[in-house]
Amino acid sequence: MRIAFIAHDKKKDDIVDFVKRYKNVFKNHEIFATGTTGKLISDATGIKIHRFLSGPMGGDQQIGARVAQGDMDIVIFLRDPLTAQPHEPDISALLRICDVHCVPLATNLGTAEIFVKALRNYSEG
């Protein structure tokens, strides 16, 4: 599966810890990420990651384009709901495009954990 990772600044440690915890699951899939998030995950796990631009520089939109083209299966976007984001319109557009194209989107660790369980079943099946 093609999986995209995005995380706001205050959630970057959480996403790195999450991917490290489930490295054995994610290493069997094609991984994408926005720039900084991808670098942090790759450095911590050694997983090969296709990195787009950073989110505020258009990385969210690049992932959204892949969703619209049918080239992304899952998006895990750990958002910081308590901090205003200068690129909020880009974030809203990504959330909308995932909804329009029925691409599963996790915006918190609870939902991301459920996705990992589904990926394990997918890999075993």
pLDDT tens digit string along 4-30? 999 999 999 999 999 999 999 999 999
In the predicted model, what is the mean pLDDT of residues 35-42?
98
List, as residue ranges, the binding site: 8, 12, 34-37, 54-55, 87
- Coil, strand or helix at 5: strand
Q: What is the mean pLDDT of the chain?
A: 94
Query: Of 13, 14, 43, 60, which one is the catalytic site residue?
Result: 60
In a domain, residue 86? The reply is yes
Neighbours of 82 (CB within 10 A): 7
For residue 29, what is the DSSP state? S
pLDDT for 86 equals 79
The total of structural domains in the chain comes to 1
CATH number of the domain encompassing residue 17: 3.40.50.1380
> Active site includes 71?
no
In a domain, residue 125? The reply is no
In a domain, residue 121? The reply is no
What domain range is 41 assigned to? Answer: 2-115
In the predicted model, what is the mean pLDDT of residues 64-71?
98
pLDDT digits (tens, 9 = 90+) for 92-102: 999 999 999 99
In a domain, residue 69? The reply is yes
pTM: predicted TM-score of the whole model, two decimal places:
0.95
In a domain, residue 122? The reply is no
Beta strands in 8-86 (DSSP E): 30-33, 49-51, 74-78
In a domain, residue 100? The reply is yes
In which band, very low, low, confident or very high, does the pLDDT at 125 lie, cut at 50, 70 and 90? low
pLDDT for 90 equals 83
List, as residue ranges, the binding site for substrate: 8, 12, 34-37, 54-55, 87
